[in-house]
Amino acid sequence: MSLRVAVVDDEELARGLVLEHLAAHPDVTVVAECANGLEAIEAVAAHAPDLVFLDVQMPRLTGFETLELLEPRPAVVFVTAYDRWALKAFEVHAVDYLLKPFSRERFDAALARARALLGAGARGPDPSLLAAAARPEGQALERVAVREGTRVTVLPVEAIDWVGAEGDYVRIRSGDRSVLKLQSLADLAARLPADRFVRVHRSWVVNVARLAALEEGRTAVMADGTRVPVSRAGAARLKELLPRG
């Protein structure tokens, strides 16, 4: 089968090697060559490749963060100099994991695997799995990447005021900005630092540092004026983090 492919790596020499190996396959069309995750998001939206060769360690957005924001979601082969991400790569159903430096034979094997899986109708990784893989095991999120069209916003978690559920999305408030992210509230809440963020209601998570008042234990008034309902269990969790006295 013919393949439309994008190559994403912040190192020009690494991109060049992948392109050289791809050139030996006349039925492969390289539709994009990208130096970072932001370029990749724009390229995938414009060209809809079947397969992406994607570096993991890149500035601004990691490979996992980039893949979480790609739409339409392609199949992926991770290409990296670090073997510690291999398990996470397969957990998100990556086609393969090429560890630099790799031989032409190893590259061709990854490409053949991609052909077989795409021919069988394989889909790209699940967003919730990608969100989990975007951080080291046991470590809370330090930032949240959100895509709006082809624009990407990266929010440090300490800048988040609150998060509210809206169907399959979460609305994230940060200062005077409000953005929507395709992710469940439960999934995001589990990854935020537990010493700063509390799920006070089935539909709400608040940053304790942004809490202005707690009215009768059932309504949280946030610094931006938002009034958030608080369940009985949420109030108990919230009071555990509030200063006593």
Q: What is the DSSP string of 195-217?
A: TTEEEEETTEEEEGGGEEEEETT
Tell me the per-residue pLDDT of 3-34, one tens digit each, with 9 for 90 and over: 999 999 999 999 999 999 999 999 999 999 99
Range of the domain at 176: 140-241
Mean pLDDT, residues 197-225 taken together: 94
**Of 8, 100, 102, 91, which Cα lies nearest the Cα of 54?**
8
pLDDT bracket for residue 245 (50, 70, 90): low
User: Which residue, among 25, 184, 180, 50, has the nearest Cα to 107 in the 3D structure?
Assistant: 25
Higher per-residue pLDDT: 166 or 125: 166
Residue of 152, 243, 244, 166 lying closest to 205 (CA atoms): 166
**What angle, rounded to 10 degrees, do the helices at 12-22 and 104-119 form?**
70
Can you tell me the mean pLDDT for 209-221?
A: 91
- Pair 128, 45 in one domain: yes
Q: Say yes or no: 45 and 122 in one domain.
A: yes
The yes-or-no verdict on residue 105 having pLDDT over 70 is yes
Q: What is the dihedral of CA 53, 136, 169, 118, to 10 degrees?
A: 30
CATH of the domain at 221: 2.40.50.1020
DSSP state of 126: P
- Final residue of a structural domain among 73, 103, 132: 132
- pTM for the full model? 0.76
pLDDT digits (tens, 9 = 90+) for 129-158: 554 554 555 567 888 999 888 788 889 999
Cβ atoms within 10 Å, residue 82: 12
3-state secondary structure of 79: strand
* Whole-number Å distance between alpha carbons of 82 and 63: 12
Residues 201 and 234 in one domain: yes
Q: How many domains does the chain have?
A: 2
For residue 85, pLDDT over 80 is answered with no
- How many CB atoms are closer than 10 A to CB 21? 20
Span 30-42, mean pLDDT? 95
Among 116, 132, 148, give the residue marking a domain's end: 132
Find, among 160, 164, 144, the residue nearest to 227 by Cα: 164
Residue found under tokens 């060049």: 16
- Domain CATH number, residue 107: 3.40.50.2300
More confident residue, 62 or 160: 160
